Structure 1
């Protein structure tokens, strides 16, 4: 599969950005302008995002003007909200920052409409008074649109599925510069593609999705010393195999530094976190989790009945921007031999430089899919594997690659779109039938190949 190259010389293309500035209500900035760095800065500080120009969109019409401008001057364009998942090779020409599209409306009967700049936290807090909750991510600080268009794997996935399974409508400026509303009946191929293909077709301006009735949950994170990792993971494997769909769980090996937000009991040592969300009766959830609590001495126990507004306590992801590298795969199985291979690379006495090594269990509603088919192709994955380290750590990235190599015997299926970190990996997130549909849809809605992300699927 051929990956179309993008231009990286910021002296080209020479487009009259002052013209775009006149046609938009938002700010247009170029390298050297006072607010350029603040506008383009992504959450991941290790990714050098340096486009030829950036547009801070305030309205959907600003996005229309930006896409038409890019088309007129032969440029590639990329959207960014929070910047949690930027790929530097795809952000070289015109960047559209959608933070200013901040509409957020909760309908008490059970659905929401939000602009492309809204993060999950606003929806979580606004829906809570009605006993409602969205299928938010592992941290509510991420943007809704990027997370959802990549599938949206959250801490209640086995109960309710993915965020894309709840989508009712998407408003998007496609690569041909037209603002469209995609639903199961309006532009159905576009609706299919937008749900799983991230920003390949256009720049989303607003999204509507169903909420679930989930005022509380039983869950959180239970921490063990790293020396007990083998015992606990073996117990977790067998326990999670019998876990009903009301439960979603994952494990993570952490090496956290001593920082103000890190509990002293977890700092400066290898620990194992068992994450758990039970969406049913709290007493039953506690009873089922007892087997994990009894598997080894507990270092820290934060598993309890909580309001959904405390959902970030499950995965304990960092809030502040950080310079990180990431590597990921999906696993077809996670047998005892796979555990041994993983712990040999990342367990006690391994010398692992990684901050986080996570394995999430899939299945349940995640595997079944929603009412409407989508471009998401990873439903058959049994587990996901994610490795995160601090950029610049000596040997860190080669070691992360070696972890994936060690897990290769159990790797299988398409990548998760939200866990792709290079242009080449995007194509590996889709099977051949879906690739064919995406290419056809791209030719229909972005015939000139304006969207940078969509160009990774070109022949």
Structure 2
């Protein structure tokens, strides 16, 4: 049996998801009764918690607190009453039971990429140290800890010629991405949503119990977690499918401002009859005039074409011929690349920054909609909007497996997503502009938005279909009737 295990493992973990009951020494902390009531949070209680946690516990007075609460999005900086930097599922169990006993809402964070309104007065569980990865090459399966990043999984999986369904950024947490649906710009059109390819989930539910759930053991909870994220507990590990791929033909092509309209008009032609092995997106970029940006891009407005093809080089070049006909590019990195270089296609930022985002899914892209996109591009120039992307969906992403997760907007054929980066006043102005741009596309908008592209202001009603949300609320009443898990997620209320 071929197995590959990451050298970076959290304390008190084998890198594999144990079958419950694990951590039997914590069973006395995992039983809650109705008469516990609200207990004042005192120093003695915090000290007692610290003694039972193998990882770390931080209060706002501790020197390590700022680093513990810092996520990738600097506009989503929370101020919890307590932070538990968990090193194992046992730590998570202890923290959840403590929060329930003291009537503290619970939030969960791995890398902190998605924007959520800042919150305070809660218990934050961070899972970054739980980053073990194990590859079962014979089964084409990965077992990933809650803190594992996309790059951790891709790097190890490639030693077996395999890859997970993942997003564009190497630094995003793969568990949060997958539980939010998991839209892959590399393998998604070929294999579908990452959430539909979860095999089992290790989760600590609000009662403090560590469960391993699957379609066979607890099918309803398994269904709800694959899209409901941290609404039903703290996911401490996933078992996910992997797919055979070791290289791709693709990369990025940057076109100058004068060619932006031509790029947008070529885009529908390129993707109209493209095979599922081909994925393309266009991002319009307002590069700031700062030293961190390469000189050839600094202070410019550009169109960044991103291409990934899992077929032959020749087929890819035929598909992107309408782009090639536009004229010379500022930068062109399209070619045959090892799959491990996937991060260079989108070139997402690696350093934390303050930003806000807004997304809209489209069910069609007729000529009139392209006209609106061109108008939006013209409005972007000189505006506080940093980037606006249109991404091709469809293919396997439009299919609904028999045991599908509650990922909405499967009818969407395109996704339009914008981001604005900077201080609060610039972000506010940028988001206002992005909303206006989205309204211009309203005639072709899908009723729902993908979770991974939802913004700070979006609620569960915009993320899930009405039928799925009703079902999720029934599940919430069963597992979290007090709505303990209501921070740092698109909250599903029990009512």
Give the secondary-structure state (helix, strand or coil) at the position aligned to 1:340. helix
Q: How far off is 1:454 after superposition?
A: 7.0
Give the secondary-structure state (helix, strand or coil) at the position aligned to 2:254. strand
Q: Residues 67 and 450 of structure 1 are in contact (CA less than 8 Å); yes or no, is this contact kept in structure 2?
A: no
Task: Tell which deviates more after alignment, 90-99 or 142-151.
Answer: 90-99
Q: Residues 393 and 414 of structure 2 are in contact (CA less than 8 Å); yes or no, is this contact kept in structure 1?
A: yes
Q: How far off is 1:207 after superposition?
A: 0.5
Q: Residues 473 and 492 of structure 2 are in contact (CA less than 8 Å); yes or no, is this contact kept in structure 1?
A: no
Give the secondary-structure state (helix, strand or coil) at the position aligned to 1:227. helix
Q: Residues 134 and 211 of structure 1 are in contact (CA less than 8 Å); yes or no, is this contact kept in structure 2?
A: yes
Q: How far off is 1:420 after superposition?
A: 2.1
Higher RCO structure, 1 or 2 (CA under 8 Å, sep 6+): 1
Alignment of 1:28-39 (within 5 A): 28-39=57-68
1:409 corresponds to 2:456: no
1:61 corresponds to 2:90: yes
Give the secondary-structure state (helix, strand or coil) at the position aligned to 1:317. coil
Give the secondary-structure state (helix, strand or coil) at the position aligned to 2:183. coil
**Structure 2 residue aligned with 1:123:** 153
Alignment of 1:104-115 (within 5 A): 104-109=133-138, 110-115=140-145
CA distance in 2, matches of 1:69, 1:361: 45
Give the secondary-structure state (helix, strand or coil) at the position aligned to 1:186. coil
1:457 corresponds to 2:470: no
Q: 5+ unaligned residues in a row in structure 1: which ranges?
A: 1-11
**Structure 1 residue aligned with 2:298:** 267
Q: Residues 28 and 54 of structure 1 are in contact (CA less than 8 Å); yes or no, is this contact kept in structure 2?
A: yes
Task: Sort the Cα spacing of 1:369 and 1:458 in 2 relative to 1 into closer, same or farther, 3 A.
Answer: same
Q: Residues 89 and 423 of structure 1 are in contact (CA less than 8 Å); yes or no, is this contact kept in structure 2?
A: no
Write out per-residue CA displacement over residues 274-322 of structure 1, whole angstroms, 9 at most, x where no aligned residue: 1111012233222322232123332211111101111112211111111
Q: How far off is 1:369 after superposition?
A: 3.6
Write out per-residue CA displacement over residues 342-399 of structure 1, whole angstroms, 9 at most, x where no aligned residue: 3323337843221110011110011114452111112111111111111325432321
Q: Residues 250 and 360 of structure 1 are in contact (CA less than 8 Å); yes or no, is this contact kept in structure 2?
A: yes
Task: Sort the Cα spacing of 1:349 and 1:150 in 2 relative to 1 into closer, same or farther, 3 A.
Answer: closer
CA distance in 1, matches of 2:295, 2:351: 19
CA distance in 1, matches of 2:416, 2:459: 15
Task: Tell which deviates more after alignment, 411-420 or 209-218.
Answer: 411-420
CA distance in 2, matches of 1:285, 1:308: 16
**Structure 2 residue aligned with 1:7:** none
Alignment RMSD, CA only? 1.9
**Structure 2 residue aligned with 1:6:** none
**Structure 1 residue aligned with 2:13:** none
Give the secondary-structure state (helix, strand or coil) at the position aligned to 2:176. helix
Aligned pair partner of 1:343 in 374, 394, 408? 374
Q: How far off is 1:424 after superposition?
A: 4.4
Give the secondary-structure state (helix, strand or coil) at the position aligned to 1:334. coil
Q: Residues 423 and 456 of structure 1 are in contact (CA less than 8 Å); yes or no, is this contact kept in structure 2?
A: no
Q: Residues 346 and 354 of structure 1 are in contact (CA less than 8 Å); yes or no, is this contact kept in structure 2?
A: no
Q: Residues 75 and 93 of structure 1 are in contact (CA less than 8 Å); yes or no, is this contact kept in structure 2?
A: yes
Alignment of 1:43-442 (within 5 A): 43-89=72-118, 92-109=121-138, 110-156=140-186, 157-259=188-290, 262-347=293-378, 350-370=381-401, 372-392=403-423, 394=426, 395-422=429-456, 424-442=458-476
Write out per-residue CA displacement over residues 373-432 of structure 1, whole angstroms, 9 at most, x where no aligned residue: 111112111111111111325432321222222222222221111122336423211111
Q: Residues 166 and 370 of structure 1 are in contact (CA less than 8 Å); yes or no, is this contact kept in structure 2?
A: no
CA distance in 2, matches of 1:174, 1:364: 35
Q: How high is the TM-score relative to the length of structure 2? A: 0.86
> Deviation above 4 Å: which 4+ runs of structure 1?
89-92, 258-261
Give the secondary-structure state (helix, strand or coil) at the position aligned to 1:435. helix
CA distance in 2, matches of 1:305, 1:347: 33
CA distance in 1, matches of 2:306, 2:324: 12
Give the secondary-structure state (helix, strand or coil) at the position aligned to 2:248. strand
Q: Residues 110 and 128 of structure 2 are in contact (CA less than 8 Å); yes or no, is this contact kept in structure 1?
A: yes
Q: How far off is 1:129 after superposition?
A: 2.0
Task: Sort the Cα spacing of 1:304 and 1:192 in 2 relative to 1 into closer, same or farther, 3 A.
Answer: same
